[in-house]
Amino acid sequence: MRKVLRDWAGAGYVELHENQGARVTEMPQSSLRDFFVVAPMMYGAVLRLAAEYRAAAQIASLEEAQ
């Protein structure tokens, strides 16, 4: 977990504070707007790929969960 937080800090996603843990950095409004424009497209692509490469056991598990 520490390595992941250090990696995220290096990418600017979190701020690490000694003896205080990590905090998510603020996102500029322009980045936030871009995220909400792009996010539905990414979710759609992921869902299409998941449906395309599904396994019969995964479908059965989903049907059982429903």
**10-30 pLDDT, tens per residue?**
988 899 998 888 999 988 888
Under 8 Å between Cβ of 12 and 31: no
Which segments within the chain are labelled E, that is strand?
A: 14-17, 21-24
Confidence (pLDDT) at 19: 87
**What is the pLDDT confidence band of residue 2, given thresholds at 50, 70 and 90?**
confident
Whether the Cβ atoms of residue 22 and residue 14 lie closer than 8 Å to each other: yes
Write out the residue range of the structural domain in which residue 40 sits. Answer: 2-65
Angle at 51 between CA 46 and CA 57, to 5 degrees: 125
Tally of domains in the chain? 1
Per-residue pLDDT reduced to its tens digit, 28-61: 888 888 889 999 999 999 999 999 999 999 999 9
pTM, whole model, 2 decimals? 0.47
pLDDT in the model for residue 32: 85
